[in-house]
Amino acid sequence: MFRNSWQKKIWLVLLSVCFVCSVVSQGKLEKNDRPDSNTFSNPIISGFAPDPSICRAGDDFYLINSTFEYFPGIPIYHSKDLINWNLIGYALHDPSQVELDNIKSSDGIHASTIRYFNGTFYIITTNNIDGKLVNFIVTAKDPKGPWSKPFVLKDAPGIDPSLFFDDDGKVWYTGNWIPPDPEFEGQAEIWLQELNLEKMQLVGKKHYLWRGCCGGAWAEGPHIYKKNGTYYLLISEGGTLYEHAVVVAASKSITGPYQNNLRNPILSHRQLSYDYPITGVGHADLVELKDGRWYMVALGWRYVDGRHGILGRETFLLPVKWETEPYWWKKDKMTFPVASARTGKIELRYPVPFKGTTQAREKGFEDDFDTENLKLEWNFRRTPKKTFYSLTSTKGYLRLFLQPGSIAERSQYSFIGIRQRHFQFEATTEFSFLPKTDNEEAGLIVIQNDRSAFLSTLATKGTKRIVKLRQSLYEKESVLAEKSVDGERVFLKVIGDYLNYSFYYSIDGTNWKVLDENIDATSLSPAVIKGFNYTGVYVGLYASSNGKRTRNFVDFAGFKYSPLLKNRGDWFQRQLENFK
C-alpha cells in the first residue's frame, strides 16, 4: 500500500490527527477542565436551576431561578464572567414574606425575573397556591439582601411576570394569562400594563400583545428589551418538555403591534431526537455586556437513558448575535437576535465570554455545622412554621428536632437538604440518635418530591436498633433492607450513579457495610412520577416521629457531598453512546 516509509509516516500522522479530532468532537476530551482552557461547559448552574433570569449591574452579573415549594426561595447567584457562579443569598429569606406552608409539590414560586434600575434590584415572581396566583415584587439595594416585604400586585392574572424599565422613565409589567376565548387547552396570551413604581400598582390600560408563533401553546416567560429604538418581546412556547422553544417578535411601540420573526423559533431542540442529551430548552432571558455583546441564559433538561431528567431543569448559557434581514427589496429590514448562531442549538461547550477566564472545576459541599447559621446551600421543603433545628444546642452539631410530619405528606417535616447537582456523586453523614419508640427515625434521604424518595434511617424494632432502607412511592412504602447495629453513633452514605443508587452504613466511618446496592432509581425521574414535576433531586438530613408528638432530637456531626464525575462532559458522551 505504501511505496516508501515517509508516505507511511505521513499517513499515520494524519490518522492520529483525525482520531484526536473525532474524540474531541464527541466530548471524550474535556479540555475545559484544564487550567488553560478557553472554553466552558454547559450547564453553568447544574441541578434544579430552572427558569433562569439574569441582569447586569456594572461589571457584575446576577442570576435567579424558580424554587417552587422549597425555602428559602429564589436563589441569587453572582458572577463576574458568566461561567462561574456563587450563591450569595435568597430573595425570599423570611417565612413572613411568602406562603408556602402546605402547598403541593411543584406549586409555589414559579418563574421570576430580576432587573437592576437606578441603584435598586427588583425581583418579580408568582406564588401558585392551589391554583391561586399571587404576583408580587421584592426589592433590595444589595442583592445579598435583606430583601423587602412583598408588594402584591392587584388585578395581575397569570404567571411569569417580568419588568421593563424604559428610557422614558416608564416601567412596564408583562405576564401571561389564559384568554377568555381559548381555542385549545394550554393556550395563553402575553399582556402588558404600566406599573406605578412608587405605589407598586398597575395603572392604565391592559395591552394584549401576542400569542406567539405557535398560536399561544403555553405562551409564557415574557421579557421585553429595547435595542436601537425597537422593542423586542421574547417568550417561550410549547411547554417545558420536548417541544419547548424560544420565540421573539418586534415592534416600534412597546404596546404593539408586534411583528413575528419569520425565523422563529430562535432556540429549540424540538427538531432533535427525543434521546438527544439536552432537551426541552426554553424559558430564556437576555443580557447585554458592556462591550455590546449579548448572551442568553435558558433552561434545559439533561436526559439520561433517553427520558430521565432526575436533576430537574438546569441553567445553560449561549452566545447571541443580532442579524438584519439581507433582502434588498425590503424597505424596512427587521433585525432579530440569533441564538447559538453556528448550530442553532445549545452546545456542550462554547468559548469563554471573557478572555483569560477559566471555568472552575465541579464543586462539592461540606458542612461541619460549626457556624451560627445554616450555610446558604441548605433548603427546607415548604416554609418552616416553626424552627425545628439548632446549631447552638451542642457546638459543632446540627440538632434536628423530630416532628410528626413524614416524607409523603403535604406538610412541614424535619428535613434540610441540598440539590443533587451531578449524575454521579457521594454523600455521607455522621449522627447520634437514641430513638425512644419504633415510630422515631433519623438519617439520610434522597428525595424528588412528596411522591418519591429513598430513606436510609436509624430506628428501633422492638429491642433492636436497626438501620433500614425503604422506598416511598405514591404514599406507599416498601422496605428494601434492614440491618442491626450497636450504639447511637452511626455513619450513612449514598452513592449515586446516574439511575442507580447504593446505600451503606458504618459504625466508625471507615469500615462500610452494604445496606443495598445498585437500586433502580428511575422512580426519581419526572418521566415516571405522576403529576407535575418541576424540581430536581435533593440529598439531605431527615428526622420524624411519624405522626406522634415527641421531644426527641438527633445530632448531626457533619455532612459531605462530593461529585464523582471525572470530566464535565462524561454524561453527554454516555448518552450519545447509549443512543447511537
CATH number of the domain enclosing 62: 2.115.10.20
- Structural domain includes residue 101: yes
Which pLDDT does position 580 carry in this prediction? 61
For residues 338 and 374, membership in a common domain is answered with no
Q: From the centroid of its chain, how far is CA 244?
A: 16
- Structural domain includes residue 201: yes
Residue with cell 433548603: 379
Which pLDDT does position 5 carry in this prediction? 40
Low-confidence stretches of the chain (pLDDT < 50) are 1-36
Which pLDDT does position 568 carry in this prediction? 86
Cβ(540)–Cβ(562) below 8 Å: no
Q: From the centroid of its chain, how far is CA 521?
A: 20
Task: Say whether 51 is catalytic.
Answer: yes
Last residue of a domain, one of 318, 351, 384: 351
What residues are paired with 232 via a beta bridge?
225, 250
Residue from 160, 220, 237, 367 carrying the catalytic annotation? 220
- Structural domain includes residue 356: no
For residues 465 and 547, membership in a common domain is answered with yes
325 Rama sector, left if φ>0, alpha if ψ -120 to 50, beta otherwise: beta
For residues 332 and 203, membership in a common domain is answered with yes
Query: Cα–Cα distance between 183 and 186 in angstroms, integer?
Result: 9
For residues 100 and 174, membership in a common domain is answered with yes
For residues 275 and 330, membership in a common domain is answered with yes
Q: Are strands 441-449 and 476-484 parallel, antiparallel or unpaired?
A: unpaired
338 Rama sector, left if φ>0, alpha if ψ -120 to 50, beta otherwise: beta
Which pLDDT does position 145 carry in this prediction? 96
Query: Cα–Cα distance between 456 and 452 in angstroms, integer?
Result: 14
Which domain range does residue 76 map to? 34-351
Amino acid letter for position 31: K
**Strand ordering across the sheet containing 86-92:** 53-57, 60-64, 73-79, 86-92
Query: Cα–Cα distance between 12 and 19 in angstroms, integer?
Result: 10
Amino acid letter for position 259: Q
Cβ(456)–Cβ(492) below 8 Å: yes
Sign of the CA dihedral with 537 first, then 561, 75, and 340 last: negative
Q: From the centroid of its chain, how far is CA 375?
A: 18
Q: Domain total for the chain?
A: 3
**Cα Rg, the chain, nearest whole Å:** 25
- Structural domain includes residue 575: no
For residues 441 and 458, membership in a common domain is answered with yes
For residues 374 and 346, membership in a common domain is answered with no
* Main-chain dihedrals φ then ψ at residue 307, nearest 5 degrees: -150, 0
The counts of H helices and E strands in the chain are 2, 40
- Structural domain includes residue 408: yes
Which pLDDT does position 487 carry in this prediction? 84
Q: Are strands 398-401 and 489-497 parallel, antiparallel or unpaired?
A: unpaired
Residue from 30, 51, 367, 516 carrying the catalytic annotation? 51
Q: From the centroid of its chain, how far is CA 447?
A: 15
Task: Say whether 220 is catalytic.
Answer: yes
For residues 397 and 319, membership in a common domain is answered with no
